[in-house]
Structure 1
Amino acid sequence: MSKSRIQPRSVARLAAVQALYQMEVSGVGVDAVVREFSEHRFDRDVDGEQMAAADETFFAELAKGVVAKQGEVDQAIVKRLASGWRLDRLDATARAVLRAGAFELMHRPDVPTEVVIDEYVEIAKSFFEGPEAGFINGALDAIARDART
């Protein structure tokens, strides 16, 4: 898919996952990370290629929303993990994908369930070659059933 055809919300979701990952591994706060993305990562020319535009407002809502509701979001994810699994056993990138997807399913009823799940499964596929995308698909589908009855 060419960069110019990627939808601004898709870019925002990917950036939100990257921001959540960055916050977890670096300990930097959400406001600083949102500001960094806005000032240094969006609408930039990288190696001669213009990066796709992001819906920066949506990006900030996702990143800040996950942080604000992290306890509730994590509880929804843990409920759908295999028995005995803890959230901290998951790869940090998978945690970021699940947190962003779960937040959107739980707190953005304006976005169709299928869109949320498809988008985050595609993001997972961009990071993982193994079974993680299928795992994320199943977990988000179950969270959607819990959150959107």
Structure 2
Amino acid sequence: MSAPGKQARSVARLAAIQALYQMEVSGAGAESVIREFSEHRFDRALPDETAEGATLASADEAFFADLVRGVVAHQREIDAAIARRLAAGWRLERIDATVRAMLRAGGYELAHRPDVPTEVAIDEYVELAKSFFEGPEPGFVNGVLDAVAQDVRGG
């Protein structure tokens, strides 16, 4: 995949995490959130003043929509795969909502997107976790997604 294509998928993953988070806190449905991102967020400047002039224009919108729809369609299965790999006594509901969105999107890619190499899926979500958190969360995302990958992809 070309560098612009990789970047477009990275942006789509970030947008999917934002969309999944938004859906969880607002109760909005997948199609309305996908439409909102398509009409109002992609090709628009980001609100973060440190990213002056940056846009989500380079997002792979089809990949974004597949991630959001796929997580919703397979959420029970994905949540079970994640829950199996949490420490004893931990429940998915106890995890930060942003981390939960990362794990769900990553779990979907690992289970349902064989075109995405395992290392790419895991690395992308670890990098996203680093952009959101300075603590142990990136390591947690790495550990859980690596274990889920072993379960769903073998090896």
Task: Give the secondary-structure state (helix, strand or coil) at the position aligned to 1:49.
Answer: coil
Question: Taking every aligned residue pair, what percent have the same amino acid on both sides?
Answer: 68
Cα deviation code 1:26-68 (max 9, x no counterpart): 0000000000000001111346614141000000000000000
Distance, in Å, in 1 between the alignment partners of 2:5 and 2:102 is 22
Distance, in Å, in 2 between the alignment partners of 1:118 and 1:67 is 22
Aligned residues: 146
- The residue type equivalent to 1:51 in the other structure is T
Q: TM-score, normalised by structure 1?
A: 0.94
Distance, in Å, in 2 between the alignment partners of 1:89 and 1:14 is 22
**9-18 or 41-50: which moved more?**
41-50
Does 1:51 pair with 2:55? yes
Q: 1:43 touches 1:50 (CA, 8 Å); kept in 2?
A: no
Q: TM-score, normalised by structure 2?
A: 0.90
- The residue type equivalent to 2:7 in the other structure is Q
Which residue pairs with 1:42 in the alignment? 42
Does 1:32 pair with 2:36? no
Which residue pairs with 2:21 in the alignment? 21
The runs of 5 or more residues in structure 2 that have no matched partner are none
Does 1:127 pair with 2:132? yes
Distance, in Å, in 2 between the alignment partners of 1:45 and 1:123 is 19
- The residue type equivalent to 2:109 in the other structure is E
Distance, in Å, in 1 between the alignment partners of 2:111 and 2:85 is 14
The runs of 5 or more residues in structure 1 that have no matched partner are none
